[in-house]
Chain A
C-alpha cells in the first residue's frame, strides 16, 4: 500500500521554483558586473578518520588532485557529520550502526511509505508518524528545498504488534536498513511496535542532512541521504523523561509542544508534566473549575481539557507518554483556597501565608488539609478528570515531596484531627498523617481509574522523608509506588531503596536539574557533566529524568535552558555509552543543528570554530 504524501506541498514547491528561476533570470539580465565577490569566505569540510570534520580552504578548481579526494570533502558541515565517524550524525547513539560514506540527493516529496506489513490497527498512527518525519525533513531546509531530485526513497515499515499501548513494557527496539538499489533507495524498518517504528523513522531522518555551506547566504538547499545503513537499536532504560514545571511560571502550549519535539528527536519517552504547584493551578478541571478560577494566573494561562488531550495525542505520535503530576499534599495552594467560600472548609492550609520561611520551602506556601473530608472529594473529582483524559494504562504522579510538618502543625483543625485519630503530634505522627493522605489518594486514584475502565497501575512519587529506608516499608507498598529519587548524588537513598526492592526513577538534583546554577548555591551542570553521570545498572532502575523547574524560566528562556543539555541525558538513558563526551560532541553539534532546524532554540556548546574543527577544542 503506497500513498502520496504532501501532494499539495509539492505543487507549492514547483510554483516556488518557477518564481526562483524567474528571479535568477531577472538578475542575469540586470547585473552589470558579473565578477563574483572575490573576498567571500568559502570553506569545505574534510572528514578525517581520527579527527572528524575539519574546516579547510576551498580547493582551487585548478588543483585536480583535490577533486580526486573529493568524496570525503563536503561543502556542508552537516553532510560531513552525517557520514563521518562510526555513528555519523545519529543522536542518541544506536547500539550498532554501519553507515556508508556515500550520499545521494533526496527529496521528501519522493518519499514513499509502504505499510502493508503493519497491522491495520497501527496504520493510522504510522501515517501520522510519517507526516512528522516528512515535515522534519522539510525543516532541514527551512521548508524550502530548491534541489530537483529524481531518486525515489521507498520505506517499507513492518510492525508486529497491533497494540498502540505505550508503557514501560512497550518494546521500542527496531531495525533500520537502507540500501541503494538501481534507481532508488530502499529502506526497511522492522519493529515490534509502532513506537519502535517511530524511533526507526527518527533515526532515518538523522541519516539525511541539508547540503549547503555553513552560514550560507544563498537560498539553495537540497537534502542528501546516506546510501547505505544498517542500524540495530534498542534502549537501555525504559523510562527516559523530562520534567517540565508549568506552575511557577506558565509555559504556553506551543512551547510545550516544541519541547516534545526536542524529546522526540532524542528518543526520550516520558513527558513528566509538573503542571501544578502552590504558585498556580493552570490545568482545567471540568468538574472543579474553581482550580483554575482561583489558581490560574489569568484566563489566558490555562491548559484546557481539549488542549491537554491534543498534547497527549501529539506526544504519542512522537513516542512520548504524558505523565501528569498533581503535586500533593505539599506544593498545593493557589487553586485550593476557595473551600471556605463554598462552605467546604479549608481544602488547604497555610495558603499564601505571610511568614513563609517557617511553613514552606519557597513562597507561596500551601499544603492540602488531610483533616477535611471535602478535600478528598475535590481531589477525587480532579483525579476523575485526569483519568478520563489520559490513555489507559495510565501512569500518574502523585507528587509527595517537601511536606512541611510545621505547616500542618500550625492548623488547629489538623492537630485535633490527629488527636482524634490517636496520632501523636510529633514527627512520626505527622508522617503517619502524610502516609494516610497518600494511601487515601491512591485509593481514590485506583477507584477513578477503574471507573473509566482502566486497570490498577503503580504510581510515581517523589522521594522524601516518607521514603527514608527506616520508614518507607511501613507506609508505601513497593508494588504500588515507584520512587522518583531526586536526592543528590552523594545520598545513599537510591541504593538503599534498590536493595529493599523498590522500583526507582533516578533524577540526581545536583546533576540533572536544569535550573541549578542560577540561584542560591546550586551549581550549573553543562551537557558534559550531565552526560557523564551513569545510572546504576539494576533492573529496578527504570530510568531517569532531567528536570526543568520554572522559578527562573518561562517561555522566554525555556529552550536554551533545556537544550541541548536534556539531549545529553537522553543519550545516557537510551544507549548509556561507555565512551565519554569527546566522542559524543560532534554528534551533539549535529543534533543541535537539527533541533534548530525543527524550530527550537538550543544553546551552543562551544565557539563555532570548535564546531567547524572537531576534536580541536580539547
Chain B
C-alpha cells in the first residue's frame, strides 16, 4: 500500500472515529456549529461574480419573502442526537463522526505551521546541497539534481473549511486529506439545488453509506398506485446513487468502516393521483437523523410528486468522496420545501432535428435532478413529424426524416413512464395551424382534399419564417377530425388531461389569403383556434382541459385577445421581455407561462443557419442571465414594468429549438443553463447569481455529470478547486 492511500484511509477514519486528542478542542468550538442554518441574505450587498468582461455590479438585496432557514426553528439543543459533538462525547457511538467543519481549522493550522517550518528547514538544506551539486555537474544537464530531490511525487490536494470557504492546500501540508466534495458538503453552503424555500438545517458530519444499503418503508400512502410508484421512484433513486458509486475506486471502500444502513420512510397524505397535475401539491418535508447504526430519512408529502422531490433532495445530501472511495451522507438534516411556481418547464424541439429516445430520457433525468416538472415536447413542425400515431400513421410516414427517425407509441409510453416516476408531465405539442409540412401532404391521395397549403412552397420567405413552409387548411373538416384523433391519442399516451398545448404561433396571413381571399385571415385563424379547441374537448371526453396553452402571437394581442376565452386558454409568452405583450396578456387576466426569447431561449446566439441572416436570435444567454431574469417582480431588469395586481404567472420555461442542435450536442447546450432556470422557478431567490449560487450550481453540474449528462463547465476547474477565488 502506498503512503498516499494510507493517508486517505486516515482521512476517512477521521470521519468515523474521532481522534481523541483533539476531541476537546473540536467539541468546544463546535458546540454552536453542530447544525448549519441558512438565513436569507438581508440588505446585504452581494458582489456579482464573473471574469473581467463582466464588470462587477453592486446590488442591494431586498428581504426575501420566503426565509430559507431559521436557526431556532429546530429549538436546537445539543442534548438531542442532531449534535455530533454530544454523541461523540458519549464515546460509545462511534458511527457519529467528528465534525470536520468549523472546529478543526485551528488545529490543522497549527500542524501546518510546524510542518511548514520543518519543510523549510529541510528544503534549505537540500537546496544548499543541490546548488553545490549543480555547480559540479554543470556540464551534464541531463542529470541535474532538481528532479532527484523529489521523485515519485504525485499531486494531491486537500481542502479545509476556513471562514466558510473551502481552501485548497497541498496535501503535504496536512496530516490528513479531505476531498473537495466532502469539504463543500460540510462547509457553509447547503450545496442543494434548487435551494429549498423553507427552513433547512444540515449537520456538519458525515457517515459512509452505500447504494445497496438503502431501504424503503412506505409508512402511509393514499393508494396502492402511489405505493407502487414510490417503490419505482425509489429504485431510480438507488440507480442514481449507483451511478455515483460507479466512479469509486473499488479497493478502498472496505477500509473506511461499515457503511450505514439507511431506512427511507415515506408518508404521502393526500392525492392518490400520481400524475403531475396543475394543482398537485409538490411540497415535502425531509428529515434525516442517525439512529443506532442506521440513518433514518423521513419524507412526508401530500402527493407522490412531492415525495419524489424529497427523494431528490435526499440524494443531494449524499456524495462520493473520491479519497474515501465511498459514498458519504450527512448524518442529520431537516428540509422543508415547496416550489414558488407550479409550471417549471423545458421545451425540446425534436422536429428540426431528431433526437433519439435515449437523449430524451437523459434530459428528463436531468430535469428531475433540478425539480423541473414539465417536459414540453415540441414534437412536430414543418420540417418533420416524427411521432408515429396509431390514429394517423400517415403523418410520420410522410413527415419523418427516415424510418429510424420516428417515435413509436411504445417509445413515447416509455418516456412518459420515466417522466412520471421523475415527477414530470410530458406535454406533447403538435403545432398548428402553422408549422406544419410534408406530413400533411397526403390528403388528396387519401380522398380527404387538401389538408395543408403552401407545403414547401417557393420562395419560402414570402410564406413563412423559415424553410420549409406549410399551413393547415382551416376550411377542411377532415383537418379537425384528424386533429381530434391526434389530440385523443396524445392525451391517452401522456395521461396529461389538465394541460394541453395547441401551438398556434407564426401563422402566415399571406399563405391563407392566397386561397381564401373572401375572409380576413385573422378571422380564419380565430375560427381555426376555436374549432381546434372543440376538437380537443371532444378528444378529452367532452371537457376542456383546465388550461390550454397557445403561443403568444398576433392572435393573443388586442383586439383578438379579447375574443379568446380566458377560462380555457393560457398564453405561453415568448416575445422579448421588453415587448408590451407579456404585460398585456397578464393585465388582461390570462394565465401565462413565460419563455422570453431574449433570455430563456437556449438556441439563441449561434448565428444564422441560412443565407438571409435576419430572423435568428441572439446573443447567447449565460446561466447567470437566465438565473437573474425575474420578470414578475418590480424590477427594470424584467422589462415588464411594475407588477400588476392579480397577474397569473403559472411559471416559466426554457426553450431549446433545434435548428442548430442535434443529438450529441444537446446536453452541453441545455445544461447547466436550464438548472439555473429551475432554481429561478422553484426558489425565486431575490439575489442574483451570487457566490453561493456559483458554488451550488457547480456542485449540481457535478451531479449531472455523474448521471451521464454532458453538462458544460461553469468555469476553469481551478475555480472549482478554489471556491470563491474566481468571483
Residues of A at under 8 Å CB distance from B? 38-43, 213-218, 247-250, 279-280, 285-290, 292-299, 302, 334, 340-344, 352, 354, 357, 361-364, 377-378, 380-381, 384, 448, 451, 517-526, 528-529, 550-554, 556-557, 559-561, 582, 596, 601-610, 612-613, 616-618
Contacts and interface: CB of A to CB of B under 8 A. Distances in A.
Interface residues of B, number: 92
Contacts of B354: 215, 608
A387 to B, nearest CB: 11
A285 B147 CA distance: 9
B5 to A, nearest CB: 11
A216 B725 contact: no
B726 A43 contact: no
B713 A40 contact: no
A559 B401 contact: no
Contact of A216 (B142, B153, B403, B665): B403
A329 to B, nearest CB: 19
B607 A556 contact: no
B383 A609 contact: yes
Contact of A603 (B393, B661, B667): B661
A616 B468 contact: yes
A556 B662 contact: no
17 contacts: A215-B400, A216-B404, A289-B153, A290-B150, A299-B155, A340-B123, A352-B722, A384-B142, A517-B605, A526-B660, A528-B607, A552-B715, A553-B713, A556-B667, A561-B668, A601-B665, A604-B353
Contact of B393 (A39, A217, A523, A602): A39
A386 B662 CA distance: 40
Given A287-B146, A342-B149, A524-B620, 6 more contacts: A41-B400, A249-B717, A285-B147, A526-B660, A551-B51, A618-B612
Nearest to A345: B127
Interface stretch (B198-206, B212-220, B578-586, B704-712): B704-712
Nearest to A551: B716
Contact of B396 (A39, A340, A361): A39
Nearest to B389: A39
A607 B383 contact: yes
B384 A609 contact: yes
B462 interface: no
B725 A363 contact: yes
Contacts of B231: none
Contact of A286 (B147, B664, B711): B147
Contacts of A526: 606-609, 660
B394 interface: yes
Interface of B: 51-54, 119-120, 123-124, 126-128, 130, 134, 141-142, 144, 146-147, 149-157, 170, 352-354, 382-384, 388, 393-394, 396-406, 437, 456, 458, 460, 466-468, 605-612, 618-620, 622, 658-662, 664-665, 667-669, 705, 710-719, 721-722, 725-726
Nearest to A381: B146
A302 B72 CA distance: 48
**3 closest pairs, A vs B, by CB?**
A520-B53, A215-B402, A343-B127
Given A604-B661, A607-B383, A612-B401, A289 B151 contact: yes
A74 to B, nearest CB: 13
Contacts of B659: 606-607
Contacts of B124: 343
Specify which of A294, A523, A607 lies most central, judged by the most chain B CB atoms within 10 Å of its CB: A607
Contact of A39 (B134, B157, B394, B458): B394
Contacts of A218: 403
A556 B711 contact: yes
B480 to A, nearest CB: 22
Nearest to B173: A341
B658 A377 contact: no
Specify which of B130, B170, B396, B717 lies most central, judged by the most chain A CB atoms within 10 Å of its CB: B717
Nearest to A521: B53
A556 B155 contact: no
Contact of B155 (A298, A519, A528): A298
Nearest to B405: A215
Given A288-B146, A603-B662, A608 B353 contact: yes
Nearest to B130: A343
A359 B149 CA distance: 32
Contacts of B713: 249, 552-554, 556-557
A343 B50 CA distance: 36
Contacts of A608: 352-354, 383-384, 401, 405, 662
A302 B154 CA distance: 10
Contacts of B142: 384
Given A41-B396, A528-B607, A297 B721 contact: yes
Chain B contact surface mostly? loop
A449 B534 CA distance: 81
A217 B150 contact: no
A557 B712 contact: yes
Nearest to B714: A552
Contact of A582 (B467, B611, B620, B658): B611
Nearest to B381: A607
Given A289-B147, A617-B609, A213 B403 contact: yes
A616 B705 contact: no
Contact of A524 (B394, B401, B606): B606
A594 to B, nearest CB: 14
Contacts of B382: 609
A421 to B, nearest CB: 23
Given A604-B660, A606-B659, A609-B384, A41 B399 contact: yes
Contacts of B383: 607-609
A613 B460 CA distance: 13
A293 B155 contact: yes
Contacts of A553: 712-713
Contacts of B353: 604, 607-608
A554 B717 contact: yes
Contact of A294 (B119, B146, B170): B170
A424 B352 CA distance: 62
Contacts of A41: 396-403, 405-406
Contacts of B661: 603-604
A526 to B, nearest CB: 3
B144 A287 contact: yes
A352 B108 CA distance: 22
A557 B710 contact: yes
Nearest to B127: A343
A603 B609 contact: no
A212 to B, nearest CB: 10
A530 B643 CA distance: 44
Nearest to B612: A618
A214 B384 CA distance: 14
A300 to B, nearest CB: 9
A384 B143 CA distance: 11
Contacts of A384: 141-142
Contacts of B669: 560
A213 B404 CA distance: 9
A560 B144 CA distance: 44
Contacts of A451: 141
Contact of B119 (A40, A286, A341, A525): A341
A54 B383 CA distance: 14
A467 B717 CA distance: 31
Contacts of A287: 144, 146-147
Given A287-B146, A608-B384, A215 B154 contact: no
Nearest to B156: A299
A352 to B, nearest CB: 7
Contacts of B170: 294
B609 A610 contact: yes
Contacts of B123: 340-343
Contact of A362 (B52, B151, B404, B714): B52
A329 B618 CA distance: 37
A462 to B, nearest CB: 18
Contacts of B610: 606, 610, 617-618
Nearest to B718: A279
Contacts of B658: 607
